[in-house]
Structure formats: C-alpha cells, structure tokens
C-alpha cells in the first residue's frame, strides 16, 4: 500500500486534500469509531450517533466509487491505538490526515501521521489568522470580518459594504412579540434510516451510560440531507433570522435558527455554498448580513483564535473560577425556568441556539464561578455540533471571560432582567428577575450583582464595564451585604436551596470524568 488517508469523523468532504492524487489501485482510506472519542468527555448520545452515522454513510459512498476503505465500527480504545494496529497490518508507505479539529487528537495522531494537510473547508488558514493577529494589541471580530468581506467580495459594492454599513444590529436582535412566534414551519426532519438505526443500537449497547436522548434524533447525516436542510432554512427561516436571532421562547427550541452547524462542522456542507445561498436569497439585507457575519466572521475567527492560542488557551482562568458544575446541567432538574428549558432541549436534541448557550447556561456558569474546564467539558459533551476548535473559544473566551478579554471586549454579564426581556421564561418561573434578595430573588440577578462585587477590581480595568460598575456604586452597603450572603448560599449549593435540592447532590458531578 502506498498511502493510507486517515479520514476523521469531522472531515466528511470528498473534495478534501486527503483525496488529492488518490490512486484507488495503491491507496486506501482509513476510518474508525473509537469509544474513547465519546468518553473522554461523556458525549451526548445524539452527538455520537450523528458522527458515526455520517461516517458510515460517507464510507459507503466512497466504496460505491470504488475506493478501498478500511473501516472499524464502534469498538473500545483510542483512535491512535486502532490506527497503529492497522498500520502494522497494512504497512502503508505513508499516512496522511487533514488537520484535525482538536489539538488533543492532533497530538495523539502525530506519531503515526507523516503529513497533516490543510483543511480547505475553511475560508482562512491558521497562518492567515496569525498574520491578521500580528502586531495587534487586541483581537476583535469586527476587523477580521471586514477583511473577510473584502477578500471574498461578499455583500460588497465596490470597496464599500452593501447597504452602506458593515452591520445591521440596530435592525436585529428583537424579542418576540408578546403572543410568541405563532405557528412556525417546523425545521425539516431526517428520521433515522437503516444505517442510523444500526448506529443507535451500537451506541445504546456500548455507551449506555452516556447522557442525552435519541428519541428525537433527526439530524442530517448525508450531504444531500444537509443541502436540503440549508434550503429549508433559507426559504423558511432566514427572512426573520436577524430580527429574532437573540430571542428565546419556552418549548420552541429552534425558532429562526438554521440548524446547520453540525452539517458544517462535519464538512457535509461547504461554507462557500452556504454564503452564496444566503447572499442571493430574497431576504432583507439585515437578515442576510446577520447570518453571513456568523459564518464568514465568527466561525472563521474562533478557529483562527483556537490554533493561535492552543494549547495554553484551554487552561486560562482569568477570573479564578473554581466551583463545580451544578449537577442539574446533566438532568435539567432545576426550578429556574430558563435553565430548565435550555438544558431540557439540549438533552433532548443536542441543540440549543447561541443565546441560550451564551446568556443562559454560559451566563449562569460564569456568574456562579464554575471552573472553566468543567463548563468547557460540558459544552463539548452535549451539543451535536461540538468540535473543540469552535466550542473552546466560545466557552473560554466568549461565555466565561476566562481568557481575560482576548476574544470578547467584556464579559457577557447580565442579570435575570436580560432573560426576561428576551424571552417568556420568567413569566412561568417561581423567581422574579427584578429581585436580588429574598425567597423569590432570581438567582441570575443575585449572582450578577455579587459577580460585579467579587470581581470589581479586575473589571475596573475593562473599559466597556464602566456603566455596569457605575450601577454597583448605587447599591447601599446593607443591600450589598444581603446580596453577598444570598449569593454565597447559591454558590455553595450550585442553585437556590429548596426542599428538593440537597446541597451536596446539587454540585456533585454526575459523570466521574467531568
């Protein structure tokens, strides 16, 4: 055998560099399903099923084209271990692999892989980002995004942005009307076919203790399905995407979001085709720009940052947060309606939209002072789109401010009033977002003020925190004392103590390796 091309579960694109010069007479593809990949963090069953089903479909597609695919179905061990075994058996002259999406995996495979190849799926390379970062005191999405708009000539009129502005946030990000979203066209579903059902059986058998449900599994597992999902979004949800991109609504897990992150991250979709479909769609400019910013801006930006800052980035803890992750993150069993909703849908679908991740689960963890590694491992475990290059910067940088401001110019700190403004959750909650102390005080609001007090010295150095800190000065000393006492109770137990939440159980991790 001449070349063994290692295809990882998030590299399912036939035009990847792994197939350059591939000669079916002397080269082979190698793919494997190793249980370690679902156990180093206890991966949601839907995440594992999605990856493995998409891999098996991809394998079958390559074999139908006449390629030799050496494929190990789900078995105990690590990817590197399984690869070593097959290298010994097939003795290839060289082993190649497209750059993995995870620093850990790249390190683990390095002894066996002779060459890591550029991942052409992305619109910018780690070197492009390094050049962008060189000599800049601060990294900010906005400058990178404008460079990308100019470079790819997307939403541009000559050298100027279409519509005369680079962003239309003022037209976007509204709450839903009081009556709610009304009857929404449900996103396209892809019920499990025979291949997916076989994977489900394997996962239930070999990873029975992993979190999450498979009952609602309907994610795209092939390129054709991913393209249908993209078209469904562009036709039905894009026009209102921008306006309601930050809104939340009880028992409406998807609203106007695209649900394409997992297809993009597995490389079933190419970002170029997504950008083209959205740029040309008959939708308002504000919606198209709001969406394009996510793909051409944020998605590329966080990847650049990941490879620029790893491995140290995963260890950052600028706010010295040390608390355990509350146990209810694994069950959704909490009286806080917003968290119950966001975690509930996460366990059901492996999905929550951006604001639920940032301003509900992420915000609560930051205000509580959860150790960044613990919350990072939770996000990596529970979302179907989770791959470390995109998950880690969003958690460590954007949601926890654990990088001290490398990624975001200020912590996304807010009280329960933000959630009240952007959702209908508080109306159905036993807490009151306007109260910071007392039995009905919203834990977000109590912890928000306490967070500002606890970190006042650090936050004074963050220019964009001025206004929030000015409000802190208005609190009387006795109010501050009462807030600090109530917050200390919440921090000790992980949640407001009620008859149903015994303190020790509330913060004990459910999974021993988290």
> In the complex, what is the shortest distance from the CB of residue 435 to ligand SF4, in angstroms, rounded to a whole number?
9
The reply on whether position 398 binds ligand FAD by CB under 6 A is yes
290 or 416, CB closer to ligand FAD? Answer: 290
304 or 362, CB closer to ligand FAD? Answer: 362
Binding segment (CB under 6 A) for ligand FAD, from list 161-169, 276-284, 379-387, 430-438 = 379-387
- Contact partners, residue 149, CB within 8 Å, separation at least 6: 155, 156, 161, 166, 296
Decide which of ligand SF4, ligand FAD, none touches 395; Cβ closer than 5 to 8 Å per partner kind: ligand FAD
> How far is residue 512's CA from residue 330's CA, in Å, rounded to a whole number?
12
Other CB atoms within 10 Å distance of the CB of residue 277: 17
> In the complex, what is the shortest distance from the CB of residue 428 to ligand SF4, in angstroms, rounded to a whole number?
7
389-418 residues in contact with ligand SF4 (CB under 6 A) are 416
Q: 432 exposed, middle or buried (CB, 10 Å; 0-12, 13-18, 19+)?
A: middle
Decide which of ligand FAD, ligand SF4, none touches 444; Cβ closer than 5 to 8 Å per partner kind: ligand SF4
> In the complex, what is the shortest distance from the CB of residue 379 to ligand FAD, in angstroms, rounded to a whole number?
5
Binding segment (CB under 6 A) for ligand FAD, from list 33-41, 73-81, 93-101, 378-386 = 378-386
> How far is residue 455's CA from residue 91's CA, in Å, rounded to a whole number?
57
Here's the x/- map for ligand FAD, 273-312, by CB under 6 A: it reads as ---------------------xx--xx--x----------
Here's the x/- map for ligand SF4, 444-463, by CB under 6 A: it reads as x-------------------
What DSSP state is assigned to residue 23?
Answer: -
**CA-based angle 462:467:469, to the nearest 5?**
70
Tokens 């910018």 identify what position?
A: 124
> How far is residue 267's CA from residue 273's CA, in Å, rounded to a whole number?
12
Using CB under 6 A, pick the residue from 8, 319, 386, 514 that binds ligand FAD: 386
> In the complex, what is the shortest distance from the CB of residue 338 to ligand FAD, in angstroms, rounded to a whole number?
15
Using CB under 6 A, pick the residue from 431, 448, 449, 451 that binds ligand SF4: 431
Tokens 């550029």 identify what position?
A: 118
> In the complex, what is the shortest distance from the CB of residue 398 to ligand FAD, in angstroms, rounded to a whole number?
5
> In the complex, what is the shortest distance from the CB of residue 364 to ligand FAD, in angstroms, rounded to a whole number?
11
Here's the x/- map for ligand FAD, 246-265, by CB under 6 A: it reads as -----------xxxxx--xx
Decide which of ligand FAD, ligand SF4, none touches 431; Cβ closer than 5 to 8 Å per partner kind: ligand SF4
> How far is residue 380's CA from residue 216's CA, in Å, rounded to a whole number?
20
> How far is residue 26's CA from residue 24's CA, in Å, rounded to a whole number?
6
What DSSP state is assigned to residue 499?
Answer: T
Q: What are phi and psi of 102, to 5 degrees?
A: -150, 125
> How far is residue 128's CA from residue 184's CA, in Å, rounded to a whole number?
41
What DSSP state is assigned to residue 213?
Answer: -
Q: What is the chain's alpha carbon radius of gyration, rounded to the nearest angstrom?
A: 23
Question: What are the C-alpha distances in Å from 132 to residues 103, 274, 293, 304, 410?
Answer: 21, 24, 17, 9, 21
327-386 residues in contact with ligand SF4 (CB under 6 A) are 336-338
Decide which of ligand SF4, ligand FAD, none touches 17; Cβ closer than 5 to 8 Å per partner kind: none
User: Tokens standing for 54?
Assistant: 């998409």
Binding interface with ligand FAD (CB under 6 A):
257-261, 264-265, 294-295, 298-299, 302, 353-354, 357-358, 362, 379, 383, 385-386, 390-391, 394-395, 398-399
């Amino acid at each position: 055998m001449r070349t063994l091309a290692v295809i990882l579960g998030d590299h399912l694109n036939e035009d990847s560099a792994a197939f350059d010069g591939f000669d079916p007479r002397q080269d082979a593809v190698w793919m494997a399903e190793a249980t370690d990949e679902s156990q180093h963090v206890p991966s949601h069953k839907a995440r594992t099923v999605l990856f493995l089903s998409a891999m098996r479909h991809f394998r079958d597609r390559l074999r139908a084209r006449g390629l030799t695919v050496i494929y190990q179905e789900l078995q105990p061990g690590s990817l590197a271990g399984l690869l070593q075994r097959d290298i010994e058996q097939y003795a290839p002259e060289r082993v190649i692999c497209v750059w993995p999406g995870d620093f850990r995996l790249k390190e683990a495979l390095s002894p066996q892989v002779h060459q890591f190849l550029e991942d052409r799926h992305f619109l910018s390379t780690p070197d492009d980002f390094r050049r962008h970062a060189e000599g800049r005191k601060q990294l900010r999405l906005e400058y990178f995004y404008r460079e990308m708009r100019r470079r790819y000539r997307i939403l541009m009129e000559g050298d100027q942005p279409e519509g005369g502005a680079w962003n239309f946030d003022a037209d976007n990000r509204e709450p839903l009307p009081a009556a709610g979203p009304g009857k929404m066209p449900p996103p396209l579903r892809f019920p499990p076919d025979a291949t997916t059902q076989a994977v489900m059986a394997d996962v239930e058998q070999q990873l029975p203790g992993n979190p999450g449900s498979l009952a609602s599994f309907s994610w795209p597992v092939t390129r054709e399905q991913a393209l249908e999902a993209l078209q469904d979004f562009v036709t039905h949800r894009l026009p209102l995407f921008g306006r309601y991109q930050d809104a939340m609504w009880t028992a409406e897990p998807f609203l106007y979001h695209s649900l394409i992150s997992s297809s993009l991250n597995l490389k079933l979709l190419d970002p170029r085709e997504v950008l083209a479909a959205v740029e040309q769609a008959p939708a308002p400019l504000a919606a198209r720009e709001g969406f394009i910013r996510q793909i051409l801006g944020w998605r590329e930006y966080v990847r650049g940052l990941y490879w620029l800052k790893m491995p140290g980035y995963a260890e950052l803890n600028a706010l010295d947060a040390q608390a355990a992750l509350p146990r209810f993150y694994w069950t959704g069993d909490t009286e806080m309606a917003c968290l119950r909703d966001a975690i509930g849908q996460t366990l059901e679908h492996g999905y929550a939209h951006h604001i639920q991740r940032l301003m509900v689960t992420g915000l609560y963890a930051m205000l509580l002072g959860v150790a960044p590694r613990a919350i990072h491992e939770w996000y990596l475990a529970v979302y179907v789109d989770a791959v470390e290059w995109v998950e880690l910067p969003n958690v460590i940088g954007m949601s926890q401010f654990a990088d001290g401001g490398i990624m975001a110019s200020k912590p996304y700190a807010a009280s329960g009033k933000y959630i009240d403004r952007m959702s209908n959750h508080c109306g159905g909650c036993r807490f009151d977002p306007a109260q910071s102390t007392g039995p009905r005080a919203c834990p977000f609001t109590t912890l928000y003020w306490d967070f500002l007090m606890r970190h006042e010295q650090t936050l004074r150095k963050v220019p964009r925190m001025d206004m929030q800190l000015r409000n802190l000065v208005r609190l009387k000393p006795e109010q501050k004392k009462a807030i600090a006492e109530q917050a200390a109770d919440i921090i000790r137990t992980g949640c407001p103590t009620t008859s149903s939440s015994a303190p020790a159980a509330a913060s004990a991790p459910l999974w021993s390796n988290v």
